[in-house]
């Protein structure tokens, strides 16, 4: 979709702090993180929300959410994490390209450097 910011990120037209990519999914650090290691997982194929996304693509997204959650746990050791999906403006959706937030939760919030977090979390494979 031409006007979609996440489609532009997937296509490399807008820079992002990429963490992981495969044939179906792209994952990046959120630009306004709620905590250290706040990651977004997005399907490469545009769909607006939970109602529009294909089941097969959703399964691929969720497999990546699991993989990235394990990766965050191993590398950043949060005490917990939230997995959040907003569908619809009233639910807080601001980017209308389906995505899932992984938000690590810590007993104590720490200072961090966003580039170091990106480097630490990056999964290099394709
Ligand atoms: P939502 O409110 O669920 O639609 O979440 C959209 C998320 O996308 C917000 O947490 C934003 O901070 C994040 N976001 C918006 N633009 C960018 C961008 N260019 N790169 C990374 N994250 C972004
Ligand atoms: Zn899009």
CB-defined site of ligand 1, < 6 Å: 5, 14, 16, 28, 30-32, 40, 86, 92-95
Helices 114-121 and 55-76 sit at what angle, rounded to 10 degrees?
110
**pLDDT tens digits, 3-36:** 999 999 999 999 999 999 999 999 999 999 999 9
Q: What percent of the chain has pLDDT over 70?
A: 99
pLDDT of residue 124: 85
Q: How far does the chain reach from its first CA to its final CA, in angstroms?
A: 24
CB 98 within 8 A of CB 45: no
Residues 102-123: tens digit of each pLDDT: 999 999 988 999 999 999 999 9
pTM score: 0.97
CA of 52 to the centre of ligand 2 (A): 12
Nearest atom in ligand 1 to 16's CA: 20
Q: What is the mean pLDDT of residues 37-62?
A: 98
Sorted by sequence, the CB contacts under 8 Å of residue 96 that are 6+ apart come out as: 4, 48, 49
Q: What is the pLDDT of residue 28?
A: 98
Between CA 2 and CA 7 the distance in angstroms is 7
Atom in ligand 1 nearest the alpha carbon of residue 30: 22
What superfamily does domain 5-121 belong to in CATH?
Answer: HIT-like (3.30.428.10)
Give the tens place of pLDDT for each residue, 63-82: 999 999 999 999 999 999 99
């Amino acid at each position: 979709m031409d006007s979609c910011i996440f489609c532009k990120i997937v296509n490399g037209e807008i820079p992002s702090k990429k963490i992981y990519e495969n044939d179906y999914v792209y994952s990046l650090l959120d630009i306004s993180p709620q905590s250290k290691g706040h990651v977004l997982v997005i399907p490469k194929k545009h769909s607006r929300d939970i109602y529009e996304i294909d089941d097969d693509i959703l399964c691929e997204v969720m497999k990546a959410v699991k993989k990235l959650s394990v990766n965050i746990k191993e590398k950043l050791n949060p005490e917990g994490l939230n997995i959040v999906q907003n569908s619809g403006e009233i639910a807080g959706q601001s980017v209308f390209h389906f995505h899932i937030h992984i938000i690590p939760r810590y007993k104590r919030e720490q200072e961090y450097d966003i580039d170091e977090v990106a480097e630490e979390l990056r999964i290099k494979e394709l």
